[in-house]
Structure 1
């Protein structure tokens, strides 16, 4: 399958839809036990990457960067390179669980508070009894320590999901990637909180109105500082749009 990418503020996003991405790109790599690094990026991550070169180098090294966030989709339209659709970390996580359930793949969960990861693990076992949950661990770890990743690698998981929040989750993957012989690695941010029922995902109406960010902010007011990246991102895209139009 020919893979197409669209660059948004120097970050290359895969131009695909969920069905095409999962069945045409991810599924074959899982079945071939091909190591894969997926980053699901929103405007906050793009802004952070462009301000921190070490982090930018990490996410650009990923096999795929998917557009997680309506801001990325809107930006692609403003730049006349419209991406097909959002591929969110939460939805992609559940698609991976579905494939793991069907093919009896091994899954490892890393991140969140201890009570949250335990509840999330129980939910995964309940919803996807066919997959093999080989282990899980809370996210209060030293990401530089090799002890835990070495023990995870010995379990030979097919899918490793890290909910450490950016940039820690991608830094953890990058630092320990070489320890693993196989596996799909993906940071999922606060997805375990949603899975465990600690945080509710925005209802479909809010998603369709492109207000998922506001719904999340209402539930987690402490995120307001992170939300300041959104207007900066929009301003940069608008400036780039004017440059593109003049050229």
Structure 2
């Protein structure tokens, strides 16, 4: 097999003593390139059901394997269009689920198998009401005093979750909320699941800032969950969420949110006109080149601390396994990675999302990622999927901050 030969080639070159600059934590960082991910509005989403997501979180908690999962909704996606660390925090997550019916509707329009909304609050309730071994949860964030109320209410009745600790840090910077005392209190709780509620951007930033120090296996920003459990904000009925009307319910409960939903709605209309609908049309009009798919090839060349991955042909969900294996093999050791796609004629949403996982891995370890020599048709697809940022990108400078935090 082509991939096995490439893997042997890569391993042989590494065993020969190729010099490279490795960061101290790189051996601890790995990325699962087998995840069934698809690109929607520039973010990777796992094609996973509520039941599968719940099982994955339980497995991570019981095996004490790190699972930082993100729950992007439309507001996440809109905010991520500006790029930067907020967008990248989703890409660097171990699991990314679609917490919003507009995203599910877009996926359906694009013919993607992201068919179920996996809301963070519903996922929490699924864990809460499941039978079996109890998981310990820690609430971090929320309005002053609300985390304590949520903890008391959660522990007042028997369930699959028990609150082992809580803290409302108030209004402070990420650094001020990351003291040794704060992290020690969370770790000393022996929690299996850390629920962060600080506002989406600050919450994601706080998690990434502290992940290397946290011993809790499952971590996520679930902003409204603390309020829901405490009862200070009522959850929308299930049927309202299924119809995509939860935003109206949230405005009823929290009127100050109207401006956010209004702005997100305007942006969604623009995205539909300029990206989603043209992308759906392009996808349906695309004539599949069976020969290009069957003859797709990938090769890699290692030169010192640099690796060049060259691909050719058409890459889509059905033939991505060689790329998955090459990405897994080459990231086993830190390299600056450059992808040469000059001979690639077509890519789909699954291929773009896979490239995002590699982009995210490189940013986590502070090594370069660049995607070069794209044909015009492939560049246009990246644009329609809001993934232009992958082209010619380098994570080296941005990764320095992550690298320093992990040391």
Tell me the TM-score normalised to structure 2 length. 0.56
Is 1:236 the counterpart of 2:271? The answer is yes
C-alpha deviation, 1:176, in angstroms: 0.3
1:115-147 CA distances to partner (integer Å, 9 max, x unpaired)?
Answer: 321211111102345644221011414321332
Q: SS in structure 2 opposite 1:117?
A: helix
* Contact 2:127–2:160 (8 Å) recurs in 1: no
* Contact 1:107–1:133 (8 Å) recurs in 2: yes
* Contact 1:98–1:128 (8 Å) recurs in 2: no
C-alpha deviation, 1:94, in angstroms: 2.0
* Contact 2:141–2:167 (8 Å) recurs in 1: yes
C-alpha deviation, 1:165, in angstroms: 1.6
Indicate the residue corresponding to 2:312 in structure 1. none
Indicate the residue corresponding to 1:48 in structure 2. 79
Q: Tell me, which stretches of 5 or more residues in structure 1 are unaligned?
A: none
1:87-126 CA distances to partner (integer Å, 9 max, x unpaired)?
Answer: 0010111233346x73233221111122321211111102
Is 1:198 the counterpart of 2:232? The answer is yes
Q: SS in structure 1 opposite 2:118?
A: coil
C-alpha deviation, 1:233, in angstroms: 2.5
Q: How does 1:144-155 map to 2 (within 5 A)?
A: 144-145=175-176, 146-147=178-179, 148-155=182-189
Task: Give 2:50's match in structure 1, choosing from 18, 21, 43.
Answer: 18
C-alpha deviation, 1:239, in angstroms: 2.5
C-alpha deviation, 1:217, in angstroms: 0.9
Indicate the residue corresponding to 1:39 in structure 2. 70
Separation (CA, whole Å) in 1 of partners of 2:160 and 2:79: 38
1:192 to 1:46, Cα distance in 2 relative to 1, 3 A: same
Alignment root-mean-square deviation, CA: 2.1
Q: SS in structure 1 opposite 2:164?
A: strand
Q: How does 1:102-181 map to 2 (within 5 A)?
A: 102-128=132-158, 131-140=161-170, 141-145=172-176, 146-147=178-179, 148-181=182-215
Is 1:94 the counterpart of 2:125? The answer is yes
Is 1:215 the counterpart of 2:215? The answer is no
Count of residue pairs brought into register by the alignment: 245
Q: SS in structure 2 opposite 1:102?
A: coil
* Contact 2:100–2:244 (8 Å) recurs in 1: no
Separation (CA, whole Å) in 1 of partners of 2:231 and 2:193: 22
Q: More deviation in 57-66 or 104-113?
A: 104-113
1:38-95 CA distances to partner (integer Å, 9 max, x unpaired)?
Answer: 1111010011112141211112110011110111111111222141201001011123
Tell me the TM-score normalised to structure 1 length. 0.90
Q: Tell me, which stretches of 5 or more residues in structure 2 are unaligned?
A: 1-31, 287-407
Separation (CA, whole Å) in 2 of partners of 1:76 and 1:130: 32
Separation (CA, whole Å) in 1 of partners of 2:264 and 2:252: 17
